[in-house]
Amino acid sequence: MRMWPITGILTFALLSACTTPPEIKQALATKDQAYAENEQLMQQYRELVSRITTRHQLWYRHVQTRLKLNLALQWATTNPRLIEVPDPEMAQDDAALLGPEVMAVVNDIRLKSLPERKGPNGQPIFMAGTGDMSNLIQKLPALITRVEQMVAQDSKKPSALDLSSFDRYRTNVQALRRINGMIKHYLDIDVTLDRGEVQSLAETLQQTGRSFR
């Protein structure tokens, strides 16, 4: 076993502990303060990233709600077309964006004279309109509710944000502070011993080390 090198180090530490210069203790205190400030700064940065992400998510939900609501109303009141997109693909893509719950309301409030719109396989997607403005206005709150629920459900999906690096940094700094505190505590205790007591303890350690050689 390699007990002797360890006891030699401890002996040296004990012999030097009783004469620990104030500068060393001050350096330990300064280092601990620096650790504490770094930990606090990193925690503040973590909270800032979290707040910004939360605001971004809220803004994203607001924008998505407006976009989907506008799309739903467009199909409820007009017969939209795009020159560069075939009608069947456009109907299918927009229906996928709106989802079945919103689509049910849209088909219920589509205005009269709006034609049926089919998908690529000929399946009806947007039904021929049968409603009027009175029906649309009456069921508008239900449409808004369906859109908000859909966006809220999509927002519950796992986020790509990973804050684990901040947590690991905090854990590492706390470990360094504990080590620093142990060293400082050790020096505070040993500095009260007189040289005779320290020498006796050092000799005991040396004898213990020889027994393992």
With respect to residue 33, please indicate whether it lies within any of the assigned structural domains: no
- Asked if the model's pLDDT at residue 3 lies above 60, the reply is no
- Asked if the model's pLDDT at residue 151 lies above 70, the reply is yes
> Do 150 and 123 contact (CB within 8 A), yes or no?
no
Residue 211 pLDDT: 45
With respect to residue 65, please indicate whether it lies within any of the assigned structural domains: yes
**Alpha-carbon gap, residue 129 to 172, rounded angstroms:** 64
Q: Which domain holds residue 161?
A: 48-191
With respect to residue 1, please indicate whether it lies within any of the assigned structural domains: no
Q: How confident is the model at residue 134 (pLDDT cuts 50, 70, 90)?
A: very high
Indicate the burial class of 129 (C-beta count within 10 angstroms; 0-12, 13-18, 19 or more): buried
Structural tokens at position 2: 């390699």
In this prediction, residues 200-209 reach a mean pLDDT of 56
**Alpha-carbon gap, residue 35 to 177, rounded angstroms:** 7
Residue 99 pLDDT: 93
Structurally, the chain folds into a number of domains equal to 1
With respect to residue 23, please indicate whether it lies within any of the assigned structural domains: no
Residue 206 pLDDT: 60
3-state helix, strand, coil in the chain (%, to 5): 75, 5, 20
